[in-house]
Structure 1
Amino acid sequence: MLSKRIIPCLDVKEGRVVKGIQFVDIRDAGDPVELAKVYDEQGADELVFLDISASHEGKKTMIDVVRSVASELAIPFTVGGGIRTLEDIKETLRNGADKVSLNSSAVQRPELITQGADYFGSQCIVVAIDAKYDEDAGNWRVFTHGGRTPTEWLVTDWAKEAVKLGAGEILLTSMNQDGEKTGFDLPLLKVVQEVVSVPVIASGGAGSSEHFHEVFTEVDADAALAASIFHYKETSVQNVKAYLKEKGVPVR
């Protein structure tokens, strides 16, 4: 079994890290540069930075903040939010990101996935999927624009399509579980892992070290991402890794 990755996520709005519950009730969580330094020192395997206002408000990712965060990091750094063109991808990677995360723009312009993968390689292209359970469809539906806009895509179909187009990784967020701290959405993760061959990062619902153990042993996710439990010091990356090592889960 490959080492499992623990990834803190910085949701950034207007230059500050924020966190909500099911994509609403947003509250401040601190300075992105300071938090990035803390997570690097704690032994995080990677860091994800998402400008959550960029796609909705039609502005570009805050490149200056990206540059400042990247200057403090020795670990891989993924940046998303407001990346709409190949030029945006180039600019983001030039300013210190190792990977870009495409969400709304990938659904609207799927060719952007292929353009980025052809130019930089699939390893640089993460497709982020925000999924919410649709009772009528009996399946999870893909949402865009920070969870505001439902699409026609079912999550399994879009995940398969994204990988076919060149995505090297899927960042899968359960909108139902986001911020709830009741555990990752294991059924959602299972259905997506069954249809794609690339790594899947579990996101949405982490509330304890036990939840990371569940997602790595019951679903075999490649990585797990969390925000509020790290930002508000309910636990730390070190504590989660120590717990996983104790349980026999390989971590770096």
Structure 2
Amino acid sequence: MSDIERPRYIPVLLLDRQRRLVKTVAFGERTYVGDPFNVIRLFNEKEVDELCILDIDAGRDGYEIDHGFVAELAGECFMPLAYGGGLRDVRQCAPLVRNGVEKFVLGAGTTNPALIGALAGVYGSSSVVACVDYRGGHAFVDGGQRDTGLSPLALAKAAVAAGAGEVIIQSIERDGARTGMDLAMIGTVAAELPVPVIALGGAGEVAHLAEAIDAGAAAAASGSTFSFIGRLRAVLVTYPEDLTDKTGGAP
């Protein structure tokens, strides 16, 4: 596999309304993981492929993006950075770009083709990531609280048709379970889409990430794999060495 084709392994950091890093279980129960700046510095040292930061309360609470805080986070980040949470208007993204954000992750915005098209028109499709969260065969938004009435595949296809250049497919039920990803869904969505698919939800060890890649994902993302160790879920933020080669990239 060439360096261009090699899979990506992406830590996902969840910010709450208090700017703390947390890890959720099925989008509910939360565990405090640490200070975002310290965790970003650790991932810099580990030469992570890229980093995804999601403000999981912004959309539901309706507060505006704190661009000063995002600028501080991006200033500590030495790898490509994707950011999501509370993105409702293309005008919000210019400050994010100036501050070092390279990709925009849309949650509820995934159901807004006009927003996707506007972002793709200004910043390019490769900068627009549609996050499709699903449970029981239905895609949900607003932190898993609102049923879109669409299947995950249907919503993903609509987002790509509108201009999204990547799709995150995430099982709400497997979030934080650490028992493995929904390989059947990952394979189905990856086979049907002409853009890279990022698998998220359920990984608890490196083997689970590899399984997602084998199922067809272009990248495997996780919070738990890079945040917890052992059966008791002790917090240990890390990036396993077997995900990097001698040049710092994934094998």
Q: TM-score, normalization: structure 2?
A: 0.90
Runs (5+) with no aligned partner, structure 1: 134-139
Secondary structure of 1:130's aligned partner: strand
Flag the 1:240–1:70 CA change in 2: closer, same or farther, 3 A: same
Aligned twin of 2:107: 103
**Number of equivalenced pairs:** 238
Q: CA deviation at 1:236?
A: 3.2
Match of 1:164 among 153, 161, 165: 161
Q: CA RMSD in A?
A: 1.6
Match of 2:223 among 213, 221, 227: 227
2:33 touches 2:227 (CA, 8 Å); kept in 1?
yes
The answer to whether residue 73 in structure 2 is matched with residue 69 in structure 1 is yes
Instruction: Give the Cα separation in 1 of the matches to 2:72 and 2:198.
Output: 25
Flag the 1:102–1:199 CA change in 2: closer, same or farther, 3 A: same
Aligned twin of 2:129: 126
Secondary structure of 1:112's aligned partner: helix
Instruction: Give the Cα separation in 1 of the matches to 2:188 and 2:210.
Output: 19
2:129 touches 2:167 (CA, 8 Å); kept in 1?
yes
Q: CA deviation at 1:105?
A: 2.2
Q: CA deviation at 1:29?
A: 0.9
1:6 touches 1:237 (CA, 8 Å); kept in 2?
no
Aligned twin of 1:238: 240
Instruction: Give the Cα separation in 2 of the matches to 1:8 and 1:251.
Output: 13
1:1-252 residue pairs with structure 2 within 5 A?
1=1, 2-13=5-16, 14-107=18-111, 109-133=112-136, 140-217=137-214, 219-232=215-228, 236-241=238-243, 251=250
Instruction: Give the Cα separation in 1 of the matches to 2:157 and 2:239.
Output: 31
Runs (5+) with no aligned partner, structure 2: 229-234
Structure 1 ranges of 4+ moved more than 4 A: none
Write the letter of the residue equivalent to 1:226: S
Write the letter of the residue equivalent to 1:115: A
Q: Between the two proteins, what is the percent identity of the paired residues?
A: 33
1:212 touches 1:240 (CA, 8 Å); kept in 2?
no
Instruction: Give the Cα separation in 2 of the matches to 1:191 and 1:63.
Output: 37
Flag the 1:32–1:160 CA change in 2: closer, same or farther, 3 A: same
Secondary structure of 1:194's aligned partner: helix
Q: TM-score, normalization: structure 1?
A: 0.89
Instruction: Give the Cα separation in 1 of the matches to 2:183 and 2:237.
Output: 21
Instruction: Give the Cα separation in 2 of the matches to 1:144 and 1:192.
Output: 18
